[in-house]
Amino acid sequence: MLAFDLGASSGRAILGILDEHKLIIEELHRFSNDPVEIRRSLYWDILRLFHEIKQGILKCIKSGHRDIDSIAVDTWGVDFGLLDKNGTLLGNPYHYRNPIPDEYSAEVFKLIPREELYSRTGIQIMKINTLFQLYSFKRNNPSLLSEAKTLLMIPDLLNYFLTGVKATEYSIASTSQLLSADNRDWDAEIIERLGLPENIFTKIVPGGSIIGTLSPAIANELGIGQIPIIAAAGHDTQAAIAAVPARDNHFAYISCGTWSLMGIETTKPVINEKSAALSFTNEGGIDNRITFLKNITALWLVQECKRQWDREGDSLSYAELEKLVWEAKPFVSFVDPDNETFIAPGNMPQRIREYCRKTNQIIPEGKGDILRCIAQSLAIKYRLTVESLEEVLGKALPVIHMVGGGIKDEMLCRFTANATGRLVETGPVEATAIGNLMIQAKALGRVKTLEEIRDIVARSFPTVRYEPSETTEWGKACKTFKEVVR
C-alpha cells in the first residue's frame, strides 16, 4: 500500500507492507510544500504537489514494488479547489492563512448567528474554515464562484486528478463547517442562507471507501496498472488518530505538528454551552466516529522563527536550537499560541517580543529564550485543554497519547507531562501515514476494526513514556500564564 501524507510544510510517500499482523513502513519520497505569495494572496502550489505524487509512485515502482494494492492521500483540512463545467481547475487553491477581513465574519453571523452555526455543525468557529473562505469568494470574487461547478477539498482534488472521480470524503468534509452534525451531510440550509451555490458540493463518502482506480492516462504515463485509489481519511488529523496505539477507548490524544489537535474520540457529537464557550470542535472520524477536539496553533511558531533566522543568515538545526532552549531560564515569559498576532507568516521572533512587551512581561531576546517561551506556553495550553475536556465530559483523562512529527521534540513531550501532571505516551512519529495505510488495509479487507488497527500499530512501533515531574513549578507557571493571556 502507498500513502501520500501532505502536511502544511512537507509531503511524503510512505510504502506500507502488512505482514503477519505487523506493519512495516518505508519512506520512498519526501518533498517540500511551499506556499506561494502573489500580490498579497497566499496559494498552494497544487500542480507541483500532484507532480510529486506521481514521482512518489514512480519511486515505488523503481524500488521493486510494482504490485501496489492501493493508494490513498491525506492532507490538512479546510482548503479546497474549484472546477469548471469541464472539470478544469479554476486557479490554484488559496492557503488557509490567506487573510479574510473581519467584516466578512460579521456578515456571516448576521445571516447565521454564531451560536446557531456552532449548534448546527459542532465545529469550532475559525476564520480559516471553508465556510468563511467561500463567503469571502462571494464578496471578493463572485465571478469565480459563479463559474465553479464543483468544489473538492484538497485530498479529494488530488484523488480527482488521479482518478477523474469527484467525491468528498467524510472526515475532510467535516472541517468545512458546512456539514450538519446530526445527519453528517451537507447542511443545505446553511449553504442557502449564505447564498452559496448548492450544486458545487459532491456526494460524501465514508473514510475507507474505494472511489476508483488510477485513470488510464496516468497509468499509461507511469507504466503501471489501474491501481485502486482509496479515500482513506482525507483529513490528516483523523488518519493520525486512527493510529493512536491505545489499548482502550479512554484516552486523550495530541496529534502534534504545525497544529496540535487535542481531544478524545466519541460516537456522537458533544455540542452544548460549555463546548461552545471553550471552542471545542466535533470532526468526523473513521468508522462513523467523532473526534471531539481543540485546534491549537503549535509548532508553526517554531517553524516561522527558524525560517526568519534562516532568512537573516543565522541558520541552526532544530537539534542546535533545542540545546539553546535547555540553556534558557524557565518560566520567564509566555504567549498565547492561538493569538491572531501569530496566524500569518512573517517575522515571528519580533511578534513574540512585541506580544511580551504589550503584556508587560520580560522580553525574550535570544533564540533559546524565545523558543523556551513557545514550548512552555504550548505545554500549558495542553494542560488547560485537557482540564477543559474533563470539565465538559465529566470524567478524568489520566493518559495522553502524543503522535506525529512533533514528538521528535523530546523537550516538548517532557514539558507536556510536567505541565499536565499526566502520563504522556508518545509514538508513532509517522502516525498520519500509518493511519492512512491501516485504513487502506481495512478497505481492502485485511483488517476488520479500528481496534484491530490500533493493536497492530501498538505491536509494530515503539512508544516512549514520560512521567510527570516538577508539577509544583508548572502549577505556578500555569497561574502566571492565565494572568498574561486572559
Q: What is the pLDDT of residues 343-380, one digit of tens each?
A: 989 999 999 999 999 999 999 999 999 999 999 999 99
387 in helix, strand or coil?
helix
Distance of CA 451 to the CA centre of its chain: 22
pLDDT recorded at residue 486: 77
What backbone torsions phi and psi does residue 338 show, to the nearest 5 degrees?
-90, 5
Computed from CA positions of residues 381, 387, 389, 391, in that sequence, does the dihedral angle turn out positive or negative? negative
- Cα of first residue to Cα of last residue in the chain, in angstroms, is 47
pLDDT, average across residues 274-303: 95
2 in helix, strand or coil?
strand
- Local confidence band at 99 (pLDDT 50, 70, 90 cut-offs): confident
Burial-class residue 486 by CB neighbours within 10 Å (0-12, 13-18, 19+): exposed
> C-alpha grid cell for residue 130?
471553508
The string of DSSP letters for 198-215 reads GGGB--EE-TTEEEEE--
Task: For the beta carbon of residue 198, count every other beta carbon within 10 angstroms.
Answer: 9
Q: What is the pTM of this model?
A: 0.95
pLDDT, average across residues 279-295: 95
With a cut of 80, say whether residue 420 has pLDDT above it: yes
Burial-class residue 316 by CB neighbours within 10 Å (0-12, 13-18, 19+): middle
Distances (CA, A) of 312 to 181, 238, 305, 316, 353: 47, 37, 11, 11, 17
482 in helix, strand or coil?
helix
Identify whether 236 is a catalytic site residue. yes
- Beta-strand pair 23-32/281-284: unpaired
Distances (CA, A) of 166 to 54, 161, 169, 239: 19, 9, 10, 21
pLDDT, average across residues 49-74: 97
What backbone torsions phi and psi does residue 427 show, to the nearest 5 degrees?
120, 150
pLDDT recorded at residue 40: 87
Residues 6 or more apart whose CB falls under 8 angstroms from that of 427 comprise 245, 403, 407, 461, 462, 463, 464
Helix pair angle (367-393, 318-327), 10° resolution = 80
Distance CA 192, CA 215 (A): 35
Tell me if 89 sits within 8 A of 116, measured CB to CB: no
Helices (H), 244-295: 273-277
Residues 6 or more apart whose CB falls under 8 angstroms from that of 406 comprise 254, 256, 257, 260, 298, 299, 412
Length of the chain, in residues = 486
Distance CA 150, CA 445 (A): 31
pLDDT, average across residues 94-103: 92
Q: Which CATH number fits domain 244-427+448-486: 3.10.180.10, 2.60.120.310, 1.10.1200.10, 3.30.420.40?
A: 3.30.420.40
User: Per DSSP, what are the bridge partners of residue 466?
Assistant: 424
* Domain 2-236: assigned CATH number: 3.30.420.40
Considering 74, 236, 369, 409, which one is annotated as catalytic? 236
Distances (CA, A) of 84 to 158, 162, 213: 16, 18, 22
pLDDT recorded at residue 387: 97
Task: For the beta carbon of residue 276, count every other beta carbon within 10 angstroms.
Answer: 17
| Helix H or strand E encompassing 14 | strand 10-18
pLDDT recorded at residue 166: 98
pLDDT recorded at residue 351: 98
Cell numbers 521528535 correspond to 408
The fraction of the chain above a pLDDT of 70, given in percent, is 100
With a cut of 80, say whether residue 249 has pLDDT above it: no
- Local confidence band at 288 (pLDDT 50, 70, 90 cut-offs): confident
> C-alpha grid cell for residue 84?
469548471
pLDDT tens digit sequence for 65-96:
999 999 999 999 999 999 999 999 999 999 99
The string of DSSP letters for 21-68 reads S-EEEEEEEEEE---EEETTEEE--HHHHHHHHHHHHHHHHHTT----
pLDDT tens digit sequence for 143-170:
999 999 999 999 999 999 999 999 999 9
Which residue spans of the chain are classified as CATH 3.30.420.40? 2-236, 244-427+448-486
Distance CA 352, CA 365 (A): 10
pLDDT, average across residues 107-128: 97
pLDDT recorded at residue 97: 92
With a cut of 90, say whether residue 286 has pLDDT above it: yes
pLDDT recorded at residue 417: 98
With a cut of 90, say whether residue 247 has pLDDT above it: no
pLDDT tens digit sequence for 190-232:
999 999 999 999 999 999 999 999 999 999 999 999 999 999 9
pLDDT recorded at residue 188: 98
